[in-house]
């Protein structure tokens, strides 16, 4: 009897599918997976001081751990995506959850920097890669009419994870120490993952879901079970490459903001406390906006909403370069959060809109590797700029303009596909 068998006696998922469109259960699962991934990865900064003391390490060496984790989160997703399309999203969700929990428990018992690098930087990152791919690439197979709404709600898990997990972990470190905090985090993830895997389904047929609620009477709905396409031909097409470059440029400012905004606020006299507050403002604005951006995009156009959000993200980054006091600084940060909500929340939906549902996991994973490129290049580039000129203002302005250019790249790709609206 397999995990996704259609003949599991007493399968509660089938009973649930008779009462509600099961796609919304998958939305909840993707929301929880997204919350786990980004809450955990952003919590790394909370452990910095503890890791430096425990492993007699430097900030530079710890940055290597975080850099490897970030790169694997996206680059490993290309391999993970092929496994998803071969073995199903539910199995990979379960395996990825195990890897993440094991990686965290190993981190809690690590005695050296090398162990930390292997446990948190590699094993946990591989688990995150699987959870990320499933949480963002699954929903287009369940939704068409309300695809923006579904992906927007699911991706709101990122903002909730950012707001809840790092502060919660920080409180645990203060009360019980960092090792206990990691164990508690691993236990929390294990409990959430068990619920998610139990309710998840690889294919709508596994639970008897009625796809006509979303796709009408179409008989050509593409799912994981559909025959594979020539993925190589798609990823080497000019349209796909244009989207890849666009995503790299759009999300490069995000890494500059998260990596340097606190230092920038301190250096400009706005205040370190305002810089710290800005991270929470981004998390709250992103969380709230992602619940609304989906329905908005379904009504007014997902591609159009994505482009507008991308332009807002880039423009607000450039605005931070000229903000000279706390009020305009926080307004620009809030606008950045709104732009990040629309652009980041619709990436899965826009991928499906552009290239279809078939092989969506692989196509999404390849496009997502653009985040790794942006994450590896933009923060060091911004820091070098600071060291050369003594200010982050020029870097913020230029990266903001690059974000706008990235939005225009994706807009060009959408126009060529006839999906610019």
pLDDT tens-digit profile of 395-409?
999 999 999 999 999
Residue 332 lies in a domain: yes
Q: Looking at the 3D structure of the chain, how many domains does it have?
A: 2
CB 312 within 8 A of CB 337: no
**What pLDDT score does 399 carry?**
96
Q: Does the structure show a pLDDT above 50 at 344?
A: yes
Task: Answer yes or no: do 207 and 235 share one domain.
Answer: no
CATH code for the domain of 91: 1.20.1250.20
Residue 202 lies in a domain: yes
- DSSP conformational letter for 123: I
State whether 98 and 204 are in the same domain: yes
Across the range 350-361, mean pLDDT stands at 86
Band (pLDDT 50/70/90 cuts) for residue 420 is: low
* Of the residues 215, 240, 255, the one at which a domain ends: 215
Mean pLDDT over 331-352 rounds to 92
Whether 6 is in a domain gets the answer no
Q: How confident is the model at residue 356 (pLDDT cuts 50, 70, 90)?
A: confident
Examine residue 406 and state whether it is found in any structural domain, yes or no: yes
The per-residue pLDDT for 225 is 42
- What pLDDT score was predicted for residue 2? 43
207 and 251 fall within a common domain: no
**Which of 189, 215, 241 delimits the end of a domain?**
215
Mean pLDDT of the chain: 88
**Do 209 and 235 share a domain, yes or no?**
no
Across residues 136-159, what is the average pLDDT? 90
Same domain, 194 and 300: no
Which structural domain range is residue 348 located in?
231-417
Higher pLDDT, 259 or 368: 368
pLDDT at 15 over 80: yes
> Do 179 and 268 reside in the same domain of the chain?
no
Q: Can you give the pLDDT at residue 218?
A: 53
Of 183, 215, 247, the residue at which a domain comes to its end is: 215
The 10s digit of each residue's pLDDT in 55-107 is 988 777 887 888 888 889 998 988 999 899 889 999 999 999 999 999 999 99
DSSP 218-239: -S----TTSPP--HHHHHTSHH
- Domain-embedded: residue 5: no
Residue 262: the pLDDT is 81
Judgement on whether residues 334 and 188 belong to the same structural domain of the protein: no
In the predicted model, what is the mean pLDDT of residues 113-122? 94
At 261, the pLDDT band (50, 70, 90 cuts) reads: confident
Co-location of 175 and 249 in the same domain? no
pLDDT band per the 50, 70, 90 thresholds, residue 229: low
The answer on pLDDT for 226 being more than 80 is: no
- Whether 44 maps to a domain, the answer reads yes
302-320 helix and 347-355 helix, angle to the nearest 10 degrees: 140
Does one domain contain both 243 and 291?
yes
Query: Residue 222 falls within a domain, yes or no?
Result: no
Nearby residues of 160 by Cβ (< 8 Å), 6 or more positions away: 31, 35, 39, 287
| 4 has a pLDDT exceeding 80 | no
Q: Are both 264 and 183 inside the same structural domain?
A: no
Do 390 and 302 lie in one domain? The reply is: yes
Indicate if 211 and 262 belong to the same structural domain.
no
CB 64 within 8 A of CB 48: no
Nearest to 55 by CA among 121, 122, 117: 117
Is residue 4 in a domain? no
DSSP 338-384: HHHHHHHHTHHHHHHHHH-STTHHHHHHHHHHHHHHHHHHHHHHHHH
Task: Identify the weakest region by mean pLDDT among 58-67, 205-214, 232-241.
Answer: 58-67
């Amino acid at each position: 009897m397999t995990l996704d068998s259609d003949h599991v006696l007493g399968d509660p998922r089938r009973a649930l599918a008779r009462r509600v469109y099961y796609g919304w259960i998958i939305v909840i699962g993707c929301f929880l997976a997204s919350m786990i991934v980004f809450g955990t990865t952003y919590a790394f900064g909370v452990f910095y001081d503890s890791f430096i003391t425990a492993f007699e390490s430097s900030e530079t060496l710890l940055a290597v751990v975080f850099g490897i984790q970030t790169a694997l989160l996206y680059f490993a997703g290309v391999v993970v995506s092929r496994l998803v399309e071969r073995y199903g999203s539910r199995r990979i969700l379960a395996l990825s959850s195990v890897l993440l929990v094991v990686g965290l428990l190993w981190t809690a018992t690590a005695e050296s920097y090398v162990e930390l690098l292997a446990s948190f930087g590699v094993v946990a990152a591989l688990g995150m890669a699987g959870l990320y791919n499933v949480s963002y690439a699954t929903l287009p197979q369940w939704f068409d009419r309300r695809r923006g709404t579904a992906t927007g709600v699911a991706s709101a898990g990122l903002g909730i994870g950012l707001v809840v997990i790092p502060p919660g972990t920080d409180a645990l470190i203060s009360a019980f120490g960092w090792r206990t905090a990691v164990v508690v985090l691993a236990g929390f993830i294990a409990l959430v993952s068990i619920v998610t895997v139990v309710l998840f389904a690889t294919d709508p047929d596994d639970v008897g879901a009625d796809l006509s609620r979303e796709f009408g009477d179409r008989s050509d709905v593409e799912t994981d079970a559909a025959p594979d396409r020539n993925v190589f031909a798609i990823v080497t097409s000019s349209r796909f490459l244009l989207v890849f470059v666009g995503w790299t440029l759009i999300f490069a400012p995000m890494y500059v903001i998260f990596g340097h905004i606190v230092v920038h606020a301190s250096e400009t006299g706005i205040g370190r406390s305002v810089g710290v507050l800005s991270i929470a403002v981004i998390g709250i604005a992103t969380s709230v906006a992602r619940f609304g951006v989906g329905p908005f995009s379904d009504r007014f156009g997902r591609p159009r909403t994505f482009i507008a959000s991308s332009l807002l993200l880039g423009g607000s980054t450039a605005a931070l370069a000229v903000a000279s006091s706390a009020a305009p600084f926080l307004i620009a940060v809030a606008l950045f959060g709104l732009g990040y909500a629309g652009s980041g929340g619709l990436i899965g939906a826009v991928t499906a809109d552009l290239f279809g549902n078939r092989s969506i996991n692989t196509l999404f994973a390849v496009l997502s590797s653009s985040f790794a490129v942006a994450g590896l290049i933009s923060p060091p580039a911004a820091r070098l700029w600071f060291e050369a000129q003594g200010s982050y203002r020029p870097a913020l302005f230029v990266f903001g303009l690059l974000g706008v250019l990235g939005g225009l790249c994706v807009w060009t790709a959408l126009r060529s596909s006839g999906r610019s609206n």
